[in-house]
Every structure is written in C-alpha cells, then in structure tokens.
Structure 1
Amino acid sequence: MRSVLLLLCLMAFAFRPDKPAYRLYNAGLKSQSYTKLVREAADADVVLFGELHNNPICHWLELQLTKDLQSAKKGALVLGAEMFEADNQTALTDYVQGRTTDKELATQARLWQNFNTDYKPIATFAREQKIPFIATNVPRKYASLVARKGLAALDTLSAEAKSQMAPLPLTVDLNLPGYKAMLDMMADHGGGTQANPHTSKSGKPAESPAANFARAQAIKDATMAHFILQNLKSGQTFLHFNGDYHSKNFDGIVWYLRQQRPNLKIVTLSSVEVPDPDKPAVESPDLANFIIAIPSDMTKTY
C-alpha cells in the first residue's frame, strides 16, 4: 500500500493535470479570464494585440478575439495590421469587400510569407463579415530609406508618398524605453558609432546608423498610430495586430496615439514565451494590460 501511495505521489509531481497552450494575466501577473479580455476590449477605443509573428497561439487568439469583438460590437469593429502597408490599402479593401480573389490579392499586395497560415483566416473573416480592414504600416521602402539616410530623406518624397505615412516633420524621442533599448542593444553589438547613441554633445538626437535604425522603427509606429486614428469613429473599437515590440510597455504606437488623443481608451496585449505559463516572468512590471504567457517550446509557423 505504501509503495502505491509513493507511486501516486511521484506521478502527481511528474505529470500536470493539463498542458495549457497559454495563460492570460494582467500587468500585475494576476490570472485573468478570456471573458474579461473581451469585455475590456469591447469597451476600448483601440486594442493593440502585440503578437510574436511566428507563434500559432497568437494568431489563433487574434482570430478568436476578432470574432468575439465582432459579435460584441455588433458591427462597430475596425481591423488594422502592421502586416499590410498603406500603399496596399486598395488591394486589401477590394479583397475584404469581395471584389477580388485570393490569387488577385497575392499579386496586388505585398503579403508576408506567413499570410496564408496566420493572417488569411482573419482577412477571410473580415471579408465574410464586411469588416473594414486598414493597412496601417508605412511602405517598407520608406522605413528602409530612414534607416539608411535618416528622417530628412523623407522630405524629398512626393506628396503621394508622404500621404502613405505619418505627417511630417516627425517627432522621435530616442530616449523612450523601446528605442533606447534598441540603441543600447545595437551599441552592445557594435552597431553604434558614438559613445552615447541617444544624444549628441549638442543635446540633439545622435546621427548614427543605430539612431537612424530606431527612427525607422519610429516612422512605423507613428504611421500605424496615424492610420488608426484616421479610421476610428466614435463608438467603434479598432483592433490592431502588430509585433509585440511596437506596443509593449505602452510605448511605440501607444506613445504616438497619446500625443494626439491623450484620453483615448487603449487596451494592450503583450505576448511572451516562458518555460512555464503558470509561472510567468516578464521583463518589466508594466508590460501591458493583458499578458499572454505561451510555452517557450510552442511550435512555430515558420
């Protein structure tokens, strides 16, 4: 009898009662329900879903949240995504409104390599439900231009090109936590050209490859915020999908949204991969309104 009890105790320690694909927490790492997430998201003006681009749990939850918000908002839902660039808006709108086919969308828009597995289900649901879908990101060629030559290079663009990004001139605070962390990381790896990559001796932002790379991220953040606000009407919820970097720590897109609409009700989600979703550890105490803890050995979509 004693050996049986010992065996049962060992089994209890060796095997967990379930294998959760994710756990949901608030900023203080207190367990939250998906129902509460939907309720708070439905009451928000903007919901920023910070995803890990190759994580299937993120994409499945994005689809579920889209469906449940469409039901909760009774049609007052707008979608947007970093994965679609502003100059592809016509192609995306034509597809969502049923005027073009999957094959035509693939030829008319620059789709990410994981579109079919990860974003097409959301686009298909938007098409079925006639949900507006906004291409919020700056065309990548302009972000690349900033990374190579700095923000001043945007001044040479045509009026049409400038209409595909946040209004210029753009304010970039390289001391914001997200950009500062990027600069520090690049400096640690030899990517900076000055002792202080954040500011020059004159107190102005440093001119360096690392600083321009951070500004390239900022033009993306600012542009996504710009098109979110441009397409948000009173009473609607704008559900936006973006890489976690662009909205975690209430930075990036959030900062640019707050510059124009400080009273906007924003709900953020941050995705983290951890060894044990039941015992999450996060990099900062103020990561997001909701934290999605996903097993670090989760399979990847690419």
Structure 2
Amino acid sequence: MWKFSIALMVAALFAFKADKPAYLLYDSHFKPVKYERMINELSEADIVFFGEQHNNPICHWLELQVTKDLYTNKKEKLILGAEMFETDNQTVISEYLDGIITAKQLETEAKVWQNYQTDYKPLVDFAQKNHLNFIATNIPRRYASIVSKGGLEALAKLSEEAKKNIAPLPIDVDLTLPGYAEMMKMGGMHSAGSTISAENITKAQAIKDATMASFILKNWVSGKTFLHYNGSYHSNNFEGIVWYLKKQNPALKIVTINSVEADDITQPNTKDKGSASFIVAIPSDMTKSY
C-alpha cells in the first residue's frame, strides 16, 4: 500500500511543470536568447522600440528593467521617449524633469494615461533622477481626430504654431503596407451620427506614426541611444514609426522588441515570427493592469 501511495505522489509531482516563467525571450526567428545579449545589442542601436501590450504588467516591468540596464551601459548617452505623451505636453514634462513643478502638477496638466501611476511614472521618475531627457512624441489626440474625420488635408487648416506639434506636412502614407492594409480591411465606423471611413482611420494612425518618427529624429543625437516606448503595433514588422524613420534616415540602426501573448510561451504563434528583432512571449493568462 505504501508503495502505491509513493507512486501516486511521484505522479502528482510530475503532473505539474516545475517552472512557471513570467516571460520567455526570443530572437526574430524564435530562437531562445539571453536577456544580456539583447541588452548588449540594444546598447549598440541608434533607436530602440519597446513594443508593449498597454495593459500587461510584465511589459511595464521589463520596460523599467531594460531602461535601467541600458542606462548602466550608456549613462548620459541614453534618451527616453514615449507614445504615451503628446508633443504639446513637452513643456510640462521638461519642467517636471527639471524639478520646477511637482509630480501632482505633471499629472494634472499633462494628458497622462489612466495607468500612468503604475506603468509610466516609474520611467519618467527614472529619467528625472538620472537627468535624462524624456521626449513626448505622439501627436495631440485632437489632431489625430481631425484626420479621422476629414483626412490629412484637414490639417492644412491648423495654425503654424499648431503644426509645430505634428510631423511636417505633407506626409506620405503607403496604404499598401501590411499593417495599414490590415486596418483598411477592418472597415469604417460610425461616430456621433457620422461615418468615419477606413481610409481616414488608417491615415490617423499614419499621422501618429509619422509624428512619433519626426520627434524621435528631432531629439536623437548621433552616438546616443533613443529608447522609445509604444504599443507594439506602431513598430511591429518594422513598419509604422520605423518605416517613417527609415524614409528620413536609412542609415539608422534600429532594434525593435515585440510583446506577444501565448497559451504556451515555449511555442509562440508562428504569425509573430520575424515581427521584431526580439520577441517577448508572455502567458496569455497573465494578470492585466486594467
């Protein structure tokens, strides 16, 4: 009887996997890669894109770890920037970094996201503590809304002062790029009694990408690494922001990170293969931050 009980206990032990990693790291070909190797490669880049899932806590924890480790390698040669801040909020952010205003004033006057406190404040505070620039790169949302309703030509009505907060006009949009083409397939939408076309929705995405690229380039300095935090769809498959950067400066060394979710992170979805220089696979049942 006791032999049978021991056998049951052994079987129960082997019924569960001993390790439960919160993430696994791969290269673009889905070959496992060590974190240290990724940091070394990021340190040699001109521009790094950390493509996150906005509500995934592992992404935000890793963003902070990558920032800290890049700073160890680069020190003052590191620049930070984010989709989560709009260009017309740069003055407020800079005043906070310089210690002129308080954290509360920053959160009140800048259009911070709902998960700012838990997910992005640690990055901004790290920049302040270590005297790093933190660049607001995204187009003010009111201007993206104008494009979604009236197309890119509607931006011509803006004042010259307002245009300083967006990419230089006119901008090229290639709607045949796979990411944009996929958006086009989703069709239009109805809002406040009017129809917004799929083409204008996609162009609103493009003006975001173009503006982020423009402000990254304005603030990047040769010899430094610009680490940019954004939703993964803005840099996946080296499209979006990356496409606009390459149009302006093909010589840039750009390294991207894509965050994906998978039921089994030892076998990520093959559709994500090649989507970035490095791929972070996170369990699909990971707790969401909102």
- TM-score > 0.5 by shorter chain: yes
Instruction: Give, in whole Å, the separation in 1 of the partners of 2:268 and 2:7.
Output: 31
Partner of 1:298: 286
Q: In structure 1, what is the Cα distance between the partners aligned to 2:71 and 2:262? A: 30
**Residue type at the aligned position of 1:37:** M
Cα distance, 1:9 vs. partner? 4.0
Counterpart position of 1:275: 263
Tell me, in whole angstroms, the C-alpha distance in 2 between the residues paired with 1:37 and 1:95: 31
- The letter of the residue matching 2:257 is L
Tell me, yes or no, if structure 1 residue 149 matches structure 2 residue 150: yes
SS of structure 2 residue aligned to 1:283? helix
Report matched runs for 1:1-302 at 5 Å.
1=3, 4-5=6-7, 7-12=9-14, 14-184=15-185, 186-187=186-187, 191=189, 209-302=197-290
**Aligned partners of 1:272 and 1:282 also within 8 Å:** no
Offset, 1:191: 4.7
Q: Alpha-carbon deviation of 1:300?
A: 0.9
- Percent of aligned positions with the same letter in both sequences? 57
- The structure 1 segments of at least 4 consecutive aligned residues displaced by more than 6 Å after TM superposition are none
Report the Cα offset of residue 4 of structure 1: 3.4
How far did 1:277 drift? 1.3
Distance in structure 2 (CA, Å) of the matches to 1:4 and 1:254: 58
Q: Number of aligned residue pairs: give it.
A: 284
Residue 73 of structure 2 aligns to a residue in which SS? helix
Q: Deviations over 1:20-71 (max 9, x none)?
A: 1100001110001110111000000000000000100000000011111111
SS in structure 2 of the partner of residue 299 of structure 1: coil
Mapped to 2, the partners of 1:284 and 1:63 lie a distance apart of 24
Name the TM-score, length of structure 1 as normaliser: 0.91
Please give the root-mean-square deviation of Cα atoms over the aligned residues, in Å: 1.6
1:108-138: per-residue Cα shift (whole Å, max 9, x none)? 2110010001000111111100110000000
Distance 1:238 1:149 in 2: 33
Task: Read off the aligned partner of 1:8 and give its amino acid letter.
Answer: V
Per-residue deviation at 1:281? Answer: 1.4
Structure 1 unpaired stretches of 5+: 193-207
- SS state at 1:75 partner: helix
Structure-2-length-normalised TM-score: 0.94
Secondary structure at the aligned position of 1:79 is classed as strand
Deviation string for 1:129-177 (max 9, x for gaps)?
Answer: 0110000000000000000100000011001111101110010001101
Deviation at 1:269, TM superposition (A): 0.3
CA distance in 1, matches of 2:96, 2:71: 19
**Aligned in 2, Cα 1:282/1:165: closer, same or farther, shift over 3 Å?**
farther
Cα shift at 1:2: 6.7
CA positional deviation for 1:11: 2.7
User: 1:284 deviation in Å?
Assistant: 3.9
Offset of residue 7 of structure 1: 4.5
Gap runs ≥5 in structure 2 = 191-195
